[in-house]
Amino acid sequence: MYTAKHPIHRRTFLKTSATALAVASTGGTVGIAADRAASVQTVLGPVAPDELGMVLMHEHAPLVDWSELYEFKPAPLTPAVRKEMLENSARMLRQFQNSLGSDQSPGAIVECTPIRVGRYPNLMVELARRLKCHLIAATGFWCEAFAPQHPWAIRLGLEKNGIDKIARLYIREIREGMEDPSGAWGEKFTAVKAGIIKIGTSAYMTPSERRCNTAAAIASAETGCPITTHTTDGGGLEQAHLLLKAGAKPERIIIGHMGNKDDREQDEAYAYHRQLVELGCYVQFDRVGHDKYTVEKCARQIKRLTDAGFARQVLVGHDWAPYFYRGQFDPKTPNDKIDAWTFKESDFTIVPRQLVPELKKSGVTAADIRTITIENPARVLAF
Ligand SMILES: [Zn+2]
């Protein structure tokens, strides 16, 4: 079984001096220094927040698997499939590592795959051990925007004190370790801790999503762990208000998937982003490079926020999932045979290699770019 101790220390030590120096030289230590005692919970153990470098705040690696959402067994991970997933994911994430300057290294990704949607804690540990960049995993149940809500989430939520039971599960995954999907639901747990809570909503929040999300606010208030969200064509304000009402602190809330018709009407939805940051939450442009989220468009939206003085509340990422298993059955296309892993070559370097230059070109200052890509993640991920 996995133990979290040794691999981290030497690496951590070697990284410290360069990163600390770089942060100090830009005068950007304020937010980080205030949280000096807090650490970021990676799958290999705690790391000081100023040792992350550039962070991609919403990714999936190696895989996402929707099988259990349709009440099927998870897709088989044969030794050959596992090996291929690890090799390909490590290769693509090394491209990200190698794209970073010494002041942005070693880099980190937040692995946002929720409970029982292809989240294999021990596989993430194996992946992280092959890399210099850090990997932070998530607890939390996903939404039912594209597939049914996970039946475990529904079952738990409908029990007596159901919201609290879901919150206890999240808290256990943050404090002791994430559930091991090789057992029945809730039967086995690993010692690999989650470092963020991932939740989501459909276009409008469903009753089960509401229970799972309220539980996230309770778990965040109790542990200090940040919450990151999936939104579906908007709904971020509804999420933020629910989370705040249920006790989460605004500076622990990241509203995700910004960048396309977020208010359901305006393509660039600036007023919506503005309302979210005025509540004190982070807004996350985490699909940079996708079709409707071009680099130029994301840069333009981010520029409007930095111009208004909100650089400290912006985060970025790609939302890539190299391996995806949709499930043996999709009710929308019941005749399609889809019982296979799909692989998509994923470019995790779009943020450092394309977005950063585009932000510079559009007039965002180097200090603000550093705030968005390095200092904000360090601040929000530390608890
Ligand atoms: Zn995602």
Average pLDDT over residues 64-84: 92
Distance 352 CA to ligand 1 centre (A): 19
Conformation bin of residue 257: beta by default, left when phi > 0, alpha when psi is -120 to 50: left
Tell me the residue type at 354. Q
Cβ(74)–Cβ(67) below 8 Å: yes
Distance 256 CA to ligand 1 centre (A): 9
Span 5-60, pLDDT tens digits:
333 443 443 344 334 433 333 333 444 444 447 999 999 999 999 999 999 999 99
Cβ(59)–Cβ(128) below 8 Å: no
Distance 60 CA to ligand 1 centre (A): 6
Cβ(235)–Cβ(269) below 8 Å: no
Distance 101 CA to ligand 1 centre (A): 26
How far apart are the C-alpha atoms of 146 and 202, rounded to whole Å? 8
Which residue has 């529904």 as its token pair? 154
Domain definitions of the chain by residue range: 7-381
Is domain 7-381 classified as CATH 3.20.20.140? yes
Span 200-255, pLDDT tens digits:
999 999 999 999 999 999 999 999 999 999 999 999 999 999 999 999 999 999 99
Distance 21 CA to ligand 1 centre (A): 33
Distance 287 CA to ligand 1 centre (A): 9
Distance 243 CA to ligand 1 centre (A): 19
Distance 165 CA to ligand 1 centre (A): 25
Distance 282 CA to ligand 1 centre (A): 17
Write down the pLDDT at residue 185. 97
How far apart are the C-alpha atoms of 313 and 379, rounded to whole Å? 10
The band of 339, judged by pLDDT with boundaries at 50, 70 and 90, is low
